[in-house]
Amino acid sequence: MSRILVTGAGGFIGKSLCRALAARGHGVTAALRRAPSPGELSPPGTETRVLGDIAASADWAHSLGGIDIVIHLAQRAHRRPGHDTPAGEPAAAAILATQAAHAGARRLVYLSSIKAMGERTLPGHPFRPEATPHPEDDYGRNKLATEAALREVAADTGLELVIIRPPLVYGPGVGANFRALMRLSVSGLPLPLASIANRRSLIFSDNLADLIACSATHPAAAGQLFLACDGSDVSTPELIGILAAARGRPSLLFPFPPAALRLLRALPRLGAQIARLTDSLEISDTLSARINWTPPVASSDAFRRTAAALS
């Protein structure tokens, strides 16, 4: 078994990952921004380190001793407009990777984002690992820049690098956009979304944690770029129907011309939300077969568990 350092361990994905790693028998060092609250229990075999915000000047010496693998999750998934690119994030990741290599770690797994590739796909043309990235916002460009910085360190030091680009991640405790969609789906409000014929790839938090845990130790994962997904794409109307049914509610959708919805994308605040509801974003997950990985939780069960946890 390996000794693994997880940055961002206190986040939505980090908590699932620490459980998955502990269940596999690994020793986990959970790097946190803040001390856990009294009610937050770490999985058995997990050591916690409170390090605050990660910066390019960070000294990881006290956390990297005896570490075999680093999994770098620490990020800010949702930021205010105009404040969404910490310029030091690529440099901070590079410093962590360099210090990890010098301390004897053999591999670093970086959780990037599908936004490093772009915001949408055309029907029948999913994102593939070999495709040229075209990020459209600061968040996506920052993720791509961090990937590049880590590749440089890997080339210079021999550190094995694994990059994972997930789409929207959902699961019990999810916040932001998916939580807002869940609340909308059970609101009882009629929604003009029945005519949307898009396809979206998603991934359940426990499935993503399982993929990260697998890629952290599998020999064939070294040097690979994985596009993570559940493997069951859904349209916006299908997703709303699934979430509503999981809460015992009807989905009140009515047809509305998609062209008219697209016109609303010009509105300053509503436009981005309309785009997420109407655009397609499909992923071709072809490389996970190299590490014999398949999602352990079926989408139907994942959506049910997520909706059941909505308070």
pLDDT greater than 90 at residue 38: no
Rounded Cα–Cα distance for residues 200 and 275 (Å): 12
pLDDT in tens, 218-275: 999 999 999 999 999 999 999 999 999 988 888 899 999 988 888 888 787 777 888 8
pLDDT at 196 (0 to 100): 93
Assess whether 77 and 183 both reside in one domain: no
Q: Considering Cα of 201, then 207, then 209, then 214, what sign does the dihedral take?
A: negative
Q: Determine the average pLDDT of the residues in 84-97.
A: 80
Angle at 168 (CA atoms; ends 167, 171), nearest 5 degrees: 130
**For a pLDDT cut of 90, what percent of the chain falls above it?**
64
Give me the catalytic one of 139, 170, 204, 293: 139
CATH number, domain at 127? 3.40.50.720
Per DSSP, which regions of the chain are E strands? 3-7, 27-32, 46-50, 69-72, 107-111, 160-165, 168-170, 202-204, 225-227
Predicted TM-score (pTM) of this structure: 0.92
Assess whether 107 and 189 both reside in one domain: no
pLDDT at 87 (0 to 100): 61
pLDDT at 274 (0 to 100): 86
Assess whether 122 and 188 both reside in one domain: no
Assess whether 209 and 224 both reside in one domain: yes
- Look at the chain and report how many structural domains it folds into: 2
Rounded Cα–Cα distance for residues 290 and 220 (Å): 6
Say whether 170 is catalytic: no
- At 127, phi and psi to the nearest 5? -65, 140
Tell me if 238 is assigned to some domain: yes
Tell me if 306 is assigned to some domain: no
Q: Residue 84: pLDDT band by 50, 70, 90 thresholds?
A: very low
Assess whether 130 and 263 both reside in one domain: no
pLDDT at 113 (0 to 100): 97
Domain containing residue 258 = 176-197+234-278
Closest CA to 89 of 74, 108, 111: 74
pLDDT at 176 (0 to 100): 78
Assess whether 226 and 270 both reside in one domain: no
pLDDT at 37 (0 to 100): 67
